[in-house]
A = this chain, B = another copy of it.
Amino acid sequence: MPVIFWLVPVSSVLALGFAYYFFKQMMACDEGTDMMKKIAEHVRRGASAYLRQQYKIVILVFLAITVIFSILAYGLGVQNPWVPFAFITGGLFSGLAGFFGMKAATFASGRVANACRTSLDAGLRLAFRSGAVMGLVVVGLVLLDISGWFIILNYFIPETGDGYKLMTITAVMLTFGMGASTQALFARVGGGIYTKAADVGADLVGKIEAGIPEDDPRNPATIADNVGDNVGDVAGMGADLFESFAASILATALLGSAAFMNYGLEVQTSAVVAPMIIAAMGTLLSIAGVFMVRTKEGATQKQLLHSLGFGVNFSAVLIVLASFGILYFLGLPNYLGIWGAIVVGLLSGIGIGQSTEYFTASAYRPTQKIAMSSETGPATVIISGIGTGLISAAVPLGIIVVAITLAYSFATGFSFDVASLNYGLYGVGVAAVGMLSTLGITLATDAYGPIADNAGGNAEMSGLGPEVRKRTDALDALGNTTAATGKGFAIGSAALTALALLASYFEEVRIMFVKFLDRPNELINGVPAIEAQFIDFVHHYEIHLMNPIVIVGIFLGVMSVFLFSGMTMNAVGRAAQKMVSEVRRQFKSIPGIMEGKAEPDYARCVAISTKGAQKEMMFPSLIALFIPVLVGIVFGVAGIAGLLLGTISSGFALAIFMANAGGAWDNAKKYIEEGHCGGKGSEGHKAAVIGDTVGDPFKDTSGPSLNILIKLMVMASVVTVGVAVSYHIL
């Protein structure tokens, strides 16, 4: 093993150590007045209650899935005793990351509100470093698990001398991603339904019917709403990116071991560890970047954004330089091309973030036009939001198209021959790793958002002065921008990761096929062996576009995406309606509640959101897990191949559409509240609030859940590859 591999466990320990350090630092801060403490405690208790309930169910489901998928994978395909364990640690570590991240966030928000009583800089730094706890725990745990498994498997799995050892190791490790995906799906879908049921319910009765402001303590759903920010945006987002980070590294490792199989053990090992080391280096640079984020009192929104951006860009620029060094040191053939793919990945992440900002920030035309359309009522707000959202999906799709083409071309030296296919796919994987390499700090800017939001809520509910509220508002507004770009980044990385996983899927099928064929490495009918093998492979499984089964698969993939999104949308609708009834009931039946004399029953609203989320998340999640298995059984590899491409392409587009439409509606509303187009309280404002409410499940439930769907469906196919290969009907 190359010596710089040890950077991976080292950076993992450092990341976890700094996370602990930031956590301790945050805990040492004062939580403020008694009222502030009480409110923070409410939110904390609600969040813990949700997580306890969630994990209770998820553990059961997880065990069931482990057994079923172990049978499917183990009994029929990959004969390897390590698979179920890798699967379980994936779920466990992902759950831990969510748990720690959320703990930190719920401890932090009250303290951030309190810090804002001192200065804006204190508030920003505290909020951001508390967000960094989440970021660093996520990357730390991923790297810990990956390096741990790699060392263990490298020790136990016997050397074969033909390159198959590393193939086996990386194939086993990939199932770690499956565990993480499964856990992430429940976190995203459950958290998404929870947070939006609470939010929509609180807004519809509180803001619209009763006319009380957001985060008003008289609103019974307001605690549930604040809890929701934590379980949805912190724990859910964390689990999502945990999964992307892990899966992109693992898929690329597998692709590397396949591409460089015939280059000897040393080069092959380099190709396998390269993505891990780049991720490790990115993590170290992220830690450094976190320390760069600071601001001064009275900073404008632009300056605040600049401070965050400085930290992120600092890490990004340095990883570009560092990864060049790493690849050069590892001595991979065409290291320059592979480095190009990393840069492509990083740039396309930035590009997608920028396009998200353009389409959702009120500084630009699209969102302003939506705000203006409020003049003619809610219908035109919805129409223009949907129109803009649909168009906005085209840009990231275009960026990904360019990214795939360039990453592939760089890695193969612009050859589209079959013989260079594997290098190209490795390039696409490496691009995904590049995009995610500085996840430690980008995730910190993401998790910062809900912390600032909750700090604002705390300040409002505990009646702190307008000076404090103004500071938390500045932090919160910033959080909305970082959340939007964060969402763009999450979905962009999900698409690239899913494509890398898809390539791994083909790789696993091909290995089974080549083993079965046992072709010698020479000319076959005048065609070089690798090319002949490949032609045979495509022909054997008929994974070409004239095969009706492939076409059927693509249709089924699109179908899964639409079904899943529709179900999650309806789930929010149902859960929100229960919340609405409960809030109305409390307003009616608790005397003195509207005068602020009696405390509403917060816990009951928390319980309704929790129960609703648990109940509603099951069915869509099972779809994601079992459709690939069923399609594999009925239609075989060709059906799966179509299914996955249909899912990834349409899921990606729908996810961006939903996230951007939702973000734009949110900011159009805020733009009006700033005094444009009639301002707060006008008919136009009411119309914009309706748009914002429609956008809630778009941007926080269905949209982000699709990120996981597209990855999990590929993962489920990878794990059950043996079924599709050997036991299909058609």
A661-702 near B? 1/0 per residue, CB < 8 Å: 000000000000000000000000000001001100100000
Would A204 and B379 count as touching, CB distance under 8 A? Answer: yes
| A interface SS class | helix
The CA-CA distance from A558 to B200 in the complex, in Å, is: 31
A483-513 near B? 1/0 per residue, CB < 8 Å: 0000000000000000100010010000000
Would A383 and B573 count as touching, CB distance under 8 A? Answer: yes
Would A208 and B544 count as touching, CB distance under 8 A? Answer: no
Known: A397-B558, A562-B653. A551 touches B378 (CB 8 A): no
A552 touches which one: B204, B405, B563, B730 (CB < 8 A)? B405
The CA-CA distance from A127 to B390 in the complex, in Å, is: 38
Contacts of A542 in B (CB 8 A): 416, 418
Of all A-B residue pairs in the complex, the 5 with the closest CB atoms, nearest first, are A390-B566, A387-B569, A391-B566, A387-B570, A379-B693
A567 contacts the other chain (Cβ, under 8 Å)? yes
**In chain B, what residue has the closest Cβ to A394?**
B563
The CA-CA distance from A550 to B506 in the complex, in Å, is: 15
Copies of this chain, whole number: 2
A61-69, A138-146, A598-606, A640-648 - the one binding chain B? A640-648
A721 contacts the other chain (Cβ, under 8 Å)? no
A388 contacts the other chain (Cβ, under 8 Å)? yes
Contacts of A401 in B (CB 8 A): 552, 555-556, 559
Would B404 and A690 count as touching, CB distance under 8 A? Answer: no
| A378-402 residues at the B interface, CB under 8 angstroms | 378-380, 382-384, 386-394, 397-398, 400-401
A549 contacts the other chain (Cβ, under 8 Å)? yes
A659 contacts the other chain (Cβ, under 8 Å)? no
Would B380 and A577 count as touching, CB distance under 8 A? Answer: yes
Q: Return 13 A-B CB contacts under 8 Å, by A number.
A: A376-B577, A379-B694, A382-B694, A390-B569, A393-B562, A400-B555, A404-B552, A416-B547, A424-B548, A535-B535, A535-B539, A543-B545, A561-B653
Contacts of A569 in B (CB 8 A): 383-384, 386-387, 390
Would B377 and A567 count as touching, CB distance under 8 A? Answer: no
A517-530 near B? 1/0 per residue, CB < 8 Å: 00000000100000
A452-465 near B? 1/0 per residue, CB < 8 Å: 00000000000000
Known: A387-B573, A694-B383. A548 touches B428 (CB 8 A): yes
The CA-CA distance from A421 to B547 in the complex, in Å, is: 8
A657 contacts the other chain (Cβ, under 8 Å)? yes
Would B548 and A390 count as touching, CB distance under 8 A? Answer: no
The CA-CA distance from A225 to B421 in the complex, in Å, is: 56
Would B379 and A653 count as touching, CB distance under 8 A? Answer: no
The CA-CA distance from A652 to B650 in the complex, in Å, is: 11
